[in-house]
C-alpha cells in the first residue's frame, strides 16, 4: 500500500501550482533586478550619504552596480517603467542592499528604489539572452523574466557569482 500512496502524493504534488520563490526586487538605474530573499543580509534606507558598514570588524565593500552595468547613462524618471507589486507602486527611494553568498561574504549594492518582496515562479524565469550578456559583460546576471503588461523584465542576480566577481576586482 505505501507504493500507491507514494504515487498519489507524487501526482498531487504535480497538480499543485508553483507558488514561486520569494525574491527581493529593486531598481538599478533603468532596469529592475531580483535576488532570492536568502541572499539578502540587510536593507538600509539611504537619506543623504552612504554609511560605512562593517561586519565582524571588516568593512563591507559597497558598489554602484547600476553604474557598472549602465555606465553614466542619464535617466529620466519618465523613461523608467513603474513596478507595481500587490497593487502598490515601488517607491524610488535609494537604498543600500547588503547581499551575502553561501560562504557568508558580504557586499553592498546601491539601489535606486526601495526593495520590494514578491514571489516569482521558476517557470517565469528564462536564461539571459546573449545580447544582454554581451552588452553588460558580466556573468552574475543569469536569468530574466519576460515583460508583461503588469511587470517589466526582471533580471536575476546570482549572489555567489556577484561577490566572486567583486572580490576578484578588490
Domain extent listing, the chain:
18-169
DSSP, collapsed to helix, strand or coil, labels residue 43 as strand
Backbone angles phi, psi at 10, to 5 degrees: -65, -45
For the segment 81-112, what is each residue's pLDDT rounded down to a tens digit? Answer: 777 776 667 777 899 999 999 988 999 999 98
Average pLDDT, the chain: 83
**In degrees rounded to 5, what are phi and psi of residue 36?**
-60, 145
Decide if pLDDT at 137 tops 80.
Answer: no
Chain segment 30-82, per-residue pLDDT in tens: 889 999 999 999 999 998 888 888 888 889 999 998 888 887 666 655 566 77
Determine the pLDDT at residue 86: 67
Question: In the beta sheet, which residues pair with residue 34?
Answer: 25, 156
What separation in angstroms does the CA of 138 have from each of 53, 105, 121, 141, 160? Answer: 25, 19, 24, 7, 13
Read off the DSSP letter of residue 138: -
The answer to whether the predicted template modeling score (pTM) of the entire model surpasses 0.85 is: no
CA nearest neighbour of 44 among 99, 117, 105: 99
pLDDT tier at 149 (50, 70, 90 boundaries)? confident
Amino acid at each position: 500500500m505505501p507504493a500507491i500512496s507514494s504515487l498519489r502524493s507524487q501526482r498531487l504534488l504535480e497538480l499543485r501550482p508553483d507558488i514561486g520563490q520569494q525574491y527581493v526586487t529593486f531598481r538599478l538605474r533603468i532596469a529592475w533586478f531580483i535576488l532570492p530573499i536568502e541572499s539578502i543580509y540587510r536593507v538600509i534606507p539611504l537619506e543623504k550619504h552612504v554609511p560605512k558598514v562593517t561586519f565582524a570588524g571588516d568593512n563591507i565593500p559597497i558598489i554602484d552596480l547600476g553604474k557598472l552595468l549602465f555606465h553614466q547613462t542619464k535617466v529620466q524618471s519618465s523613461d523608467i517603467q513603474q513596478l507595481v507589486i500587490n497593487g502598490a507602486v515601488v517607491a524610488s527611494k535609494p537604498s543600500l542592499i547588503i547581499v551575502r553568498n553561501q560562504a557568508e561574504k558580504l557586499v553592498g549594492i546601491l539601489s535606486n528604489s526601495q526593495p520590494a518582496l514578491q514571489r516569482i515562479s521558476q517557470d517565469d524565469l528564462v536564461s539571459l539572452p546573449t545580447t544582454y550578456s554581451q552588452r553588460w559583460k558580466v556573468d552574475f546576471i543569469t536569468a530574466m523574466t519576460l515583460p508583461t503588461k503588469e511587470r517589466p523584465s526582471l533580471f536575476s542576480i546570482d549572489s555567489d557569482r556577484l561577490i566572486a566577481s567583486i572580490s576578484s576586482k578588490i
